[in-house]
Structure 1
Amino acid sequence: MAAGRGPTVRRRRLAGELRRLRERKALTLEEAAERVGWSTAKVSRIETARVGITSPDLTRLLDLYELDASKRTALHALARTANTRGWWDAYTDSLPSDYATYIQLEVDTAFIRSFDSMLVHGLLQTEDYAREVIRSALMALSPPAEIERRVEVRMTRQNLLLRQEDPIRFWAVIDEAALTRRVGSEAIMQGQYAKLLEFAAQDNITIQVLPSTAGAHPATAGTFAILEFREPHDPDVVYVESMTSILYVESDIEMYRYTLAFDHLRAAALSPDESKQLISRMAEQSS
């Protein structure tokens, strides 16, 4: 386990699900602990992901919460992998903990829907484009070696889209402004346009451009991504990033608003074929 990393995303998700199950049964921490014969502190530590949970203990809680047998398998599988670390832990010294958390969430997704208003999404960036973006974001506060490590992380993340077996589905709506903003040299932009066209040709990837003529839209506040997970018990999550913080939106009402906003964006955007044509024209104009 990497020092200082704390509980994994899987353990936190399991803890959150157990807390929701208890609340649905209208049980307090004290009541739940009494019924299974544990201390209140033990239940609290499990629900706050401070400790893991064994399979027998998980079964006792699920019995108490009367969870359907069809839903238990996924939770037991989550518990078995709750302490699993991933490839990103090799970059502990270079990655902020919030970024590492997001990467682990990304690994567990089946489908990502994103709107990007300022830059091309990280999963779609070329190495040169990513290097320029990361260097600018760090504002000369980090040495070149750290920039290169972060570029390497970003390129490794793209394996989710490129792997032969079960690649994630990715639907990107990119504001035209993000594509006309010059990042680095003309050659870097030409390479980025070509990369987008390569990605757009894949069956698991849909790319649409939101033209500037679309005017005001529901996501004028900025970039966001909707993550849909593989396991049926995992609720969707919206990821919103600012310069200094990361926000995860999970409430049903807010999730609905982001989903509706994305539907409006893709409806207002150019079709995938029209988007490819526009990107091709941008590539020609930059040459």
Structure 2
Amino acid sequence: MASSVNPTVRRRRLGSELRKLREQKGMTAEEVAARLLVSQSKISRLENGRRSISQRDVRDLCGVYGVEDHRVVDSLMQMAKESRQQGWWHAFGDVPYSVYIGLETDAASLRVYESLVVPGLLQTPEYARAVIEGMWPENTTAEIEKRTKVRLKRQDRITDPVNPMRYWAVVDEAALRRVTGDERIMSDQMQHLVKCSTMAHVTLQVLPYSVGAHPGMYGKFAILEFEDASDATVVYLEGVTSDLYLEKPNDVQDYSMMYEHLRALALGPDQSRQFIIELAEEYAQ
């Protein structure tokens, strides 16, 4: 379930507030960097929430921006303190895509398109392990187990009985046809998808081969939205060595429109459920 203090989200909120203060002062990031004798990239990372923000950073920036209201400074300092706390994922050590996990943990809704594998939040333990083993063949057994445990822990966001995430997944037929592990694992995975699709807060749609070319052929992506209006919607694009987070309104709008096209092309929820039931039976034979 979402934590009461999420360090990733706190960093984003604090970075957004610091950016507003800079813009109100009429200063560029380069000018601020020159005043503080730091790199311009540090200022950008602080404002984008990609770097941990210390209370000293906040104090120095407030000084440059001429913030005299002690309540504002104290509030920003508290946010900086909270942003340096550890999220649940830090207990697993160095975890890839930890920034994304932090955002996902606090998101109110998540829309995903998957082209090659079943979405992570809907994977069974055996399927998840098979995916991780296949995608990172050089990983040790311990690393594979750690990644699997993290993936399964992330699923708390849709199984939370009190405050579950609103989850919408469009999955390409290719992801369901690709045998990952073996037929038994695939049969179990299909049955799990059927069960997940009956949850009131989960919508699952299959994009069949028959639609031909479609906007999702660029690849997988996720759109995260948050309860707090001050938290911008984020489009997440996963890469091999680095990830991309898009927050500009035009980018978010483009991906949101793309997602609406995919939803329209995909089978409806009931048709998708029946499609997956039939696949489960095929794998069980």
TM-score class, shorter-chain normalisation, is: 0.7 to 0.9
- Measure how far apart 1:230 and its partner are: 2.4
Aligned AA (2:162): E
Determine the C-alpha separation between the residues in 2 that align with 1:53 and 1:237.
26
Give the match's secondary structure for 2:217: coil
Q: 1:124 aligns with which of 122, 127, 132?
A: 122
Determine the C-alpha separation between the residues in 2 that align with 1:268 and 1:259.
14
Quickly say closer, same or farther: Cα 1:110–1:279, change in 2 above 3 A: same
Determine the C-alpha separation between the residues in 2 that align with 1:206 and 1:77.
38
Q: 1:197 aligns with which of 190, 194, 198?
A: 194
Give the match's secondary structure for 2:128: helix
- Measure how far apart 1:90 and its partner are: 1.3
- Measure how far apart 1:221 and its partner are: 0.7
Q: 1:241 aligns with which of 215, 238, 241?
A: 238
Aligned AA (2:105): V
Aligned to 1:106: 104
CA contact (8 A) 2:11 2:80 kept: no
Give matches, 1:202-281, under 5 Å: 202-281=199-278
- Measure how far apart 1:29 and its partner are: 5.8
Aligned AA (1:84): Q
Aligned to 1:10: 9
- Measure how far apart 1:11 and its partner are: 5.0
Quickly say closer, same or farther: Cα 1:144–1:220, change in 2 above 3 A: same
5+ residue gaps, structure 1: 1-7, 34-38
Determine the C-alpha separation between the residues in 1 that align with 2:227 and 2:278.
37
Q: Deviations over 1:177-217 (max 9, x none)?
A: 11111111111001100111111111111101111111111
CA contact (8 A) 1:114 1:226 kept: yes
Aligned to 2:26: 26
5+ residue gaps, structure 2: 1-6
Aligned to 1:3: none
Quickly say closer, same or farther: Cα 1:286–1:11, change in 2 above 3 A: same
Q: Could you state the TM-score of these two structures normalised by the residue count of structure 1? A: 0.81
Aligned AA (1:177): A
Q: Deviations over 1:105-164 (max 9, x none)?
A: 11111100000000001111000000100001111x121121111111111110111011
Aligned to 1:84: 85
Q: 2:134 aligns with which of 133, 136, 151?
A: 136
- Measure how far apart 1:27 and its partner are: 3.0
CA contact (8 A) 1:46 1:52 kept: no
Determine the C-alpha separation between the residues in 2 that align with 1:221 and 1:142.
27
Q: Deviations over 1:13-46 (max 9, x none)?
A: 122442144225533469889xxxxx6459x877
CA contact (8 A) 1:210 1:268 kept: yes
Determine the C-alpha separation between the residues in 2 that align with 1:284 and 1:75.
56
Matched pairs, number: 270
- Measure how far apart 1:10 and its partner are: 3.5
- The percentage of counterpart residues that share the same residue type is 42
Determine the C-alpha separation between the residues in 1 that align with 2:30 and 2:271.
59
Quickly say closer, same or farther: Cα 1:195–1:64, change in 2 above 3 A: farther
Give matches, 1:179-190, under 5 Å: 179-190=176-187
Aligned to 2:162: 165
Q: Could you state the TM-score of these two structures normalised by the residue count of structure 2? A: 0.82
1:284 aligns with 2:285: no
CA contact (8 A) 2:11 2:53 kept: no
Aligned AA (1:264): H
Quickly say closer, same or farther: Cα 1:219–1:75, change in 2 above 3 A: farther
Determine the C-alpha separation between the residues in 2 that align with 1:152 and 1:112.
21
